[in-house]
Every structure is written in C-alpha cells, then in structure tokens.
Amino acid sequence: MFDVAGIAVEIGQALLSLALAPALVGFIRWLKARMQNRRGAPIWQPYAELRKLFRKDMVVSRQASWVFHLAPFVIFGSTIVVSLLVPVLVTPLPFNAVADLFAVVYLLLLGTAFLALAGLDTGSAFGGMGSSREMTIAAISEPAIALAILSLALAAGSTNLGEIAARTIARPSSALSPGHVMAFVALFIVMLAETGRLPVDNPATHLELTMIHEAMILEYSGPYLALVEWASWLKLFVFAMLAGNLFVPWGLATSLAPAALAVAFATTLVKLVVIAAGVAVLETRVAKLRLFRVPELLAVSFVLGLLAVASSFSLR
Amino acid sequence: MNPTALEPLFWAMCGGFAIAASGALAPAPRVARAVTAIGSVAGAAAGLWLACLVLAGAGTVSIAMPSVLAAAGGLSFHLDRLGAVFLAVIGGVTIPVAIYGFGYTGGYGRRYSMRWMSLQTGAFLLSMSLVVSAANVLTFLLAWELMAVASWLLVITEHDRPDAVRGGLWYLAMTHMGLLALLAAFFLLGGDQAGAWPFDALRDGAARLSPGTRNAIFLLALLGFGSKAGLVPVHVWLPRAHPAAPSHVSALMSAVMVKLGIYGLLRVALDLLGGGPAWWGVLLVAAGAVTALTGVLYALVDDDLKRLLAYSTVENVGLIVLGTGAGFLFLSLAQPTAAALAFAAALLHVVNHAAFKGVLFLGAGAVLHATGERDINRLGGLVKRTPWTAATFLVGALSIAALPPFNGFVSEWLLFQSFLPGVASSRASVAVLLTLGVGALALTGGLAAATFVKAFGISFLAMPRSPEAANAHEAGWAMRAGMVMLALACPALAILTVPVLSAIGGALGGVGGLPASSTTFSLGVILETPHGLARMSPVAIMAVLAAAGTGVWLAMRLVSRGSRRIDDTWGCGRIGQTSRMEYTSTAFAEPLRRIFGELYRPTDDLTVTEQPGSPYHIQAISYRTELHPWFERGIYDPLVRATQAAASRVRALQSGSVNAYLAYIVLVLVVLLGMVIGF
C-alpha cells in the first residue's frame, strides 16, 4: 500500500520541476531575444539571478506586517504542492489518488491571493494597483479554466489528472478531436493570463501603469524576491506541463522502469521546448492588450471551453 | 440508545434558551448579559449534543403536546436527521456567538435595554431550534413567526439609528410577504385534512395532489422560503437588515437563520412533496446562479464591511440553491445517486458557510467595536493593532474564497463534482444548463476571492486611513474567544469532511426518494465521489501544504545569510508616505466594476476644475459615485408607491373620531352576524 519508490519518484519529479522551471523561463527569454535580433542572456541566467538574490540582504517596508513575511512561503509552498500533483514524467504516482484538476486550480489561486495581499500590505500605490488587476484577471479567468477542465473531464470521465492522461494515452486519436484541440487553446489562453505573459501582462515591463505581477512584488527583495520569482516560474512550468501532459500525454511513463523514465524525460523536454517556443513567438508577435480588453480574450477562452464541452457532447 | 433518553436533552436545550430569555428579569445590564450568555451556551450545547446523537443514529425525538393550543390541533415536535443537521449548525454557531456577544454588548447597557435584548435573544434561539424540530404546520408556523419577530426586534436594537429602523422595516415587510406565501402553500398542501396538519399526514396526502397544485405549492414555498434565505430578487431586506443588527446577531442571522429557508425548502419540496418535474430543478439552478452572481458582484463593490458580508451571504445562499437545484434535477431524471451527491454538497456548504460567515461577521463586529467604522475606505493597518481579529478574519476570508486548505474549498469542490454527472448526461438541455452552472460557480468563486482579498487587504493591511483606525483597540477576551472558536472550526471542518459528509448523507437517506443507504461516500481520509469521477483529500492537501511551506522556510534559513533592514516603502523618490497614497476599497474593485459596468449601471459624477489660462493644470477634481441596484428600483419602487397610495386612501377612515370608530365596529358586527345567519 505504501509505495516508497513511487513517493521517491514523486518527490524527485517535484524537485525536477523546481530545477527546470528557471531554465524554461531562461529559454523563453533567450528565444525572444534571438527573434528580436538581440543576442540575449544565456539560458541559465535565471539560476544566476536566484543565486544572487538568495545571497543578498533584504529591505522590508516599515508598513509590512506578518502577512508580507508569510506570503512568500504560502506562494512557494502551494506551487510545490501543485507540482507534486501534476504529471511530469510518470503517471499515476501515489499522490495521484488526490490529484484533482479543480484542486490544482484553487491551490494556484491561493498563491495568487496571497501575492495580492502582500502587494497591499506595504501601502504602496503600485502594490494596490497590481493586486487589484491581478485579482481582476484571476476572477474572470476562473470560468474559462473551469470549462476547459470540464471538457477534459467529460472526455476522460474524471477530473483526476492521472485518469485524464491515462485515457488519452489509451486512445491516442482522441488527442486530435476538435473538442480536445479547442480545450487546449482555451487552456493556453488561460495560461498566458494566469502566468502574467503577453498579451495580458508584460513580464519585462517596469513601466508603472502597465505592471501587474511586477507591481505586486515591487517591495520584495533578496531571498523573498527569489522565492516569489521562483514560484512564478514554477507556475509557468506547471501550466506548461498541464498543457503538455494532459493534452498530449504521449511519452509519459506508466511504470518506474529506467528506460521508460528516460523516454519520458526526453519527451517532456521536447514538449517544454515546443511550448516555450510558442510563448516566445507569441510574445514577439503580439502587443500587450489594454487591461479592459483582457476580458474579451478570456471570453474567447470561455467560449472555446463551452464549444469543447458541446463538441465532446455531440461526438459521444 | 433509547429514544426517550434524547428527550431530556431536548428539554435541556429549550430550558437553556429560556434561561437566556430570563435575563429580562435581571436587575442590572451586566447580569442580563451574563445570564443570556450562560443560558445560550448551555442551550446550544444541549442542542448540539442532541443533534450529534440523532445524526449518529441514536434515534429521533418525538414529543406531542396536544393539550397546548388544543383548538388548533396542538403542538408537536419531531427531530429527525434532516432537522438535526440544521440544529447542529444552530448549536455550533450559537456557542461562540453567545460568548462573543457577552463582550460585544458590554457598551449596550448604557444606551439600550439589555433586558429586552436578553428576551429577544432567548426567543430567537429557541424559535430557530423549534423550527427545525416542528412536526406539524401549526408548530412550524408559530416558531417561524416567532423567529421573524424576535430577529426583527434584534435588528432594530440600535433604534436611534435611522438605517437600523429602515432595514428592520424592509425585513418586516419581506418576511411577512414570505409568511403569506407559506400560509398559502400549506393551505394548498393541507387541503381538507383535519387537525394541525402533521407533516406525516401531509407527506401521505401530497402524492394524491394534482400536478398543478403541487407546482403551485412548490412556487409558493420557493417564494416564502426564498425570501428568508435571500434569493434574488426577494433578497432586498438582507443587505439592509443584516448589517444594521448588532454584529453577533448579524452573525446568527447570516450564518444560521437564512439557512432555515433552505431547510424549509428541502422539507416541503423534497421531503413532503418528494421532488417534482425537471423544471423545478432548472428553476432552482437558474435562481441559484443568478443569486450567487448578483450577491458576489454587489459584495465586490461594496465599501461597507458588514453590507459586503451580507451580500456575500446572498452569494453563498445562491451556491447552496444551485446545488439543491441540481439535486432536484437529478431526482427528476431518475439519477438518485447523483441527486444525493448534489444535495449533500449543498448541505455541506450550509455547514461550512455557517463557520466562516460566523467568524467574518464577528470580525467585522470587532472592527466596528474597535473603530466605530464600517466603511472599508476609512480602515487599514488593523493587522498591527488588532492581531487576533486580523488573523481570525483572514482564516474566514480564505475559507469563504474557497481557497485550500480550508472548508469552503471542500464544499465548492464537491459542488463542482456534483455537476459533472449532469454535464455527462445524455440530454443536451441538461448538459448545457449544468455546464453554464459550472461557469457561474467558477466565476462566483473567482469574484469571491477578489472580494475577500479586498475586504481583508484594505481593512487590515497597510496604513490606517482614519484616526479611528489608527487608534483601534483589540477586542476583549470574550470576543476573542468567540472569533477563535469559529476560526478554528474552518480547518477543523475541512479535516472532518468525511465524517460530516457521512452524517449529512445519512440525514438525506430515504428523504423524498433519495437512496436509503447512508454510505454514499467512501470513508477514510480520501474523499471520493460516489460515481467515482473524482478523488480529493483535504487532509493530505493541508498536510503537504504545511510541510512544503515549513520546509521552504527552513531551507531559506539555511541558505540565506543576508541581513534584514527596515525602511520606507518605495515611493518614486518621494519622501514620506501617507495613507492617501494607498489603494482604496473603491479603487480596488474599479476594474471589475468597469468590466461588469452594464450590470451595475453606476452613477458617476466627475468635475474637473482647470487652472485659469491653462487646460493642462488642474485646480481641483471632485468625484462622486453611487451604486444602487437598478433592478430593485424596477421591482420595488412601484410596490412601495402602491402601498403608500393604498395606505393614504385607508387613512381617510381614520378620522380620529371615537364615534366613527364605534360605528365601524357595529358595522363589522352586523356584517359578521349576517354571514353567520346566511350560512
């Protein structure tokens, strides 16, 4: 009953996510730079940033309360829990018994809420602005996520992550069904909104009036900033894995055999590169949307989710 | 256990609440407060214990008192498991609220009559407990009306404040409109049966009623109970009356009393009528979705902390009705297992909402007590001056925003899961309806998260926005104890989800065509829905989350060697930070208010005075905004006008002349005698 090897792989998988998340962001930045005819920082630049931040002193606002000190740990902790649940290499692992997609969404929302509270805590106008906008986007992206989940759940007959992946592995053709593709696009749009990418938020901006994520974390410095940034990179990684391993779970290992794990690692890297390239191309091609145009984008995602549900209904 | 052994507990409960009411005879306000608190706690503890025993299967309590009000058929009580779920909620919330109330009413004795308040509190608690244990229509309606009047009197406790009196008037009008609907429903249900219409006889008789009558009963019951629960559009009294009441009474009303509307709906539509056609469920799902979204949208933009909480109660009642509607829908589609899950999710949310709405209202009361302010835009920085209130409020806020690892998340998750079998249904109309239901549920959840980040973040964090907030004081021991108890209930209910759910499943077993087996949920740490579609473990999530957070904290202590410096918040180089630079509650909600502007239709007034000679230099800006729910104007303004017009017509009769009044009396007597002779 108590599967030690499974749990070891599970924890190893989460550590792998932690280790790869900065590289994913570094790769997206590098690719963007190349496409914009810049040389760009090396892919491992985010690791150097983390190393630097963890060693630095910290400046904490006079107004900050314990909420400000608690938030980095809640944000980082909840993202780690999510990375334990999401299949990266192997499925199903022991935690899959409780790996539910709605739970994943709400765990990520917990981190978002705490980041927003931390943004408000220092009394800075920027922090408040970022929090307000972040919660706005989080609130209106919820229905889109729910419908994307619903369409996946309908096809698989479950909201359990392992079951969804297992079902698509068992019936590879279903990955190309129209409902599946629409649900993928819906989730991809939500991923851009939730992880603060263009066209919703610009991860490279420090212009006061356009910041969302950057505005909230403005008062964090040193190790806290490292935690918050790492958690946001991990969130992007988790979404990439959800998109990659739920919609196209091919290559995912179903046993703990070393050969299967090696194949899974290789395919996972390929999927990450493809998704990162998609994000990078998109970010060089589109401009940031005005905040009040974002609901339209998310409405598109919602309608795609609805169509995905309808199509999985009509094709049954 | 022998059922008769439960009877003394029932009497102990009534006795406790009677002691609470006997504070009316106390010589001094302080004694009245103490007597009320002790009596309420004792009665509530007996009630909670009784409810737990009944839920654990120790039998039911039946007490008949045919000699009381014999002419009308006599009183009769029967506490079954369905009633026990609600009795447990009443007892569980009353204990901390009564302790809190002892501290909160400390300043009331100087301005208001504590003796009256004792009487009203005792009557309110007793009547709520009797509503859920009534066994015939007479008892039910008497308890129901006593509950309405007692709570109305409590709402207008602070009778020198105009908003309290106006809110009370709205409440009084709406609750009696509801009572009228209930009377009509029960008259249709009882028909020509004799006596006090015991529920057992009504249940047997209901099967023989024509479909038209059953539909009429359902609609009337929905109107009557919906007005108590706060369904849109008959919710209008709730955001007016709940904030006006003393805060511990607000907590009781929001956390407990509105749920009795849900109880009534389940008792009549599910238990007595045994479910109905599919459109009942469709109507409830639609009403629930509209209620949830309306509630949360108005909670989001409200700047009054207590009114925000009242609107959030409307939202949560909407979620509960959404689940109930799905239950009725599945029942009509002959999917009893799915129906049981949906009803159980709704009832679990009833229990969970009682815990977090209780702690939130008590927290808002502590803020009001500490600052005299309910306007979020004048609060701020309280986390440093009132740490206990802040911490407990934060737990309540996270729970109500359905964030893990607290209890709100569990019931929201279960509501999502209970919709899945419907979305997978073979009927396209059902699938589309429930898909939209899931969308509404998700949007409500997201907006609730934004609402409560605002409610906690603006009220408690950053710098104080008024001198009152800057000089706030922490609540006394009694208030702190009440808040801590309810705050601890939020994680505790998440941990105990499985036993609570099996109790609820047992309570629903056999009611109105639901499967009799009480083992709808697999026991253990992992929560598995009966159709096997999903598994989740609140305990595991809580444990892993705590372990991960602590692990990261320890790791960071080991890795980082840097020092920590305290300095100003960055202000673009500007020196000196004031609270005027902070985001306000209105500003926080502004993006969402603009996105949903078509639904709000606010009135904005912006006046910009330019510097003479240069349009680029502004002398002054004044901005005023007002948000009044427009649909209320459409529905209620004509009603209010018509009532006032009718009242002024009737006024012509009231000349003030005694002779005229005597003439009326004679006239009525003659007419009555004529009727008697005529028949």
ipTM score of complex: 0.95
Angle between helices B497-508 and B336-371 (to 10 degrees): 120
Query: Rounded CA gap, B276 and B274, in Å?
Result: 7
Find the residue in A nearest to B448 (Cα). A139
User: How many angstroms separate the CA of residue B265 from the nearest CA in chain A?
Assistant: 29
Query: Rounded CA gap, A40 and A38, in Å?
Result: 5
Query: Rounded CA gap, B255 and B101, in Å?
Result: 15
Chain A contact for B427 (CB, 8 A cutoff): no
**b/e B246-282 (16+ beta carbons within 10 angstroms → b):** bbbbbbbbbbbbbbbbbbbbbbbbbbbbbbbebebbb
What SS3 class is residue B618? strand
Interface of A with B in 95-134 (CB under 8 A): 95, 97-98, 100, 102-103, 106-107, 109-110, 112-113, 116-117, 120-129, 131-133
Task: State yes or no: pLDDT of A316 exceeds 70.
Answer: no
With CB atoms and an 8 Å threshold, state whether A129 touches B583. yes
With CB atoms and an 8 Å threshold, state whether A133 touches B564. no
What's the mean per-residue pLDDT of chain A? Answer: 88
Q: What's the CA angle centered on B486, arms B482 and B489, to 5 degrees?
A: 145
| A91-146 pLDDT per residue, tens | 777 777 778 888 899 999 999 999 999 999 998 888 999 999 999 999 999 999 88
pLDDT value at residue A1: 43
CA nearest neighbour of B488 among B95, B140, B66, B38: B95
Query: Rounded CA gap, B143 and B396, in Å?
Result: 31
User: How many angstroms separate the CA of residue A126 from the nearest CA in chain B?
Assistant: 8
Find the residue in B nearest to A215 (Cα). B570
Pairing between strand B61-65 and B75-79? antiparallel
With CB atoms and an 8 Å threshold, state whether B535 touches A143. no
**A-chain residues within 8 Å CB-CB of B442?**
142-143, 145-147
Cis peptide bond N-terminal to B467, omega within 30: no
What SS3 class is residue B574? coil
**A-chain residues within 8 Å CB-CB of B380?**
123
User: How many angstroms separate the CA of residue B249 from the nearest CA in chain A?
Assistant: 29
pLDDT value at residue B42: 96
Beta carbons within 10 angstroms of residue B363's beta carbon: 35
With CB atoms and an 8 Å threshold, state whether A123 touches B579. yes
Query: Rounded CA gap, B329 and B26, in Å?
Result: 52
pLDDT value at residue B529: 65
Largest CA distance in chain A: 60
Interface contacts (A, B; CB < 8 Å):
260
Interface test with A, best of B435, B456, B463, B578 (most A CBs within 10 A): B435
CA nearest neighbour of A140 among A289, A308, A310: A289
Residue entry with tokens 């009942």: B280
pLDDT value at residue B531: 59
Phi, psi of A60 (to 5 degrees): -115, 140
Check the CA dihedral A94-A97-A101-A105 and report its sign: negative
pLDDT value at residue B2: 55
Whole-Å CA distances, B679 to B99, B298, B667, B673, B675: 58, 55, 19, 10, 6
- Select from A63, A81, A140 the Cβ nearest to the Cβ of B595: A140
Residues of chain B with pLDDT under 50: 1, 518-520, 522-525
**A-chain residues within 8 Å CB-CB of B445?**
106, 142
**A-chain residues within 8 Å CB-CB of B569?**
61-63, 122-124, 219
pLDDT value at residue B1: 47
pLDDT value at residue A173: 76
With CB atoms and an 8 Å threshold, state whether A143 touches B446. yes
Query: Rounded CA gap, B222 and B216, in Å?
Result: 10
Chain A contact for B582 (CB, 8 A cutoff): yes
Query: Rounded CA gap, B368 and B362, in Å?
Result: 10
Contacts of B162 (CB under 8 A, 6+ apart): none
Query: Rounded CA gap, B658 and B503, in Å?
Result: 62
Distance of CA A68 to the CA centre of its chain: 23
| A235-283 pLDDT per residue, tens | 999 999 998 888 888 888 888 888 888 999 999 999 999 999 999 999 8
Render B367-431 in DSSP notation, one character per residue. HHHHHS--BGGG---HHHH-HHHHHHHHHHHHHHTT-TTSHHHHHHHHHHHHHHHHHTSS-HHHH
Q: What is the mean pLDDT of residues A73-84?
A: 93
Tokens describing residue B479: 């208030």
CA nearest neighbour of B199 among B593, B453, B512, B643: B512
pLDDT value at residue B354: 96
| B365-406 pLDDT per residue, tens | 999 999 999 999 999 889 999 999 999 999 999 999 999 889
pLDDT value at residue B204: 87
**Please, what is the end-to-end C-alpha distance for chain B in angstroms?**
55
Query: Rounded CA gap, B2 and A45, in Å?
Result: 73
| HEC profile of B141-163 | HHHHHHHHHHHHHHHCCCCCCHH
pLDDT value at residue B516: 67
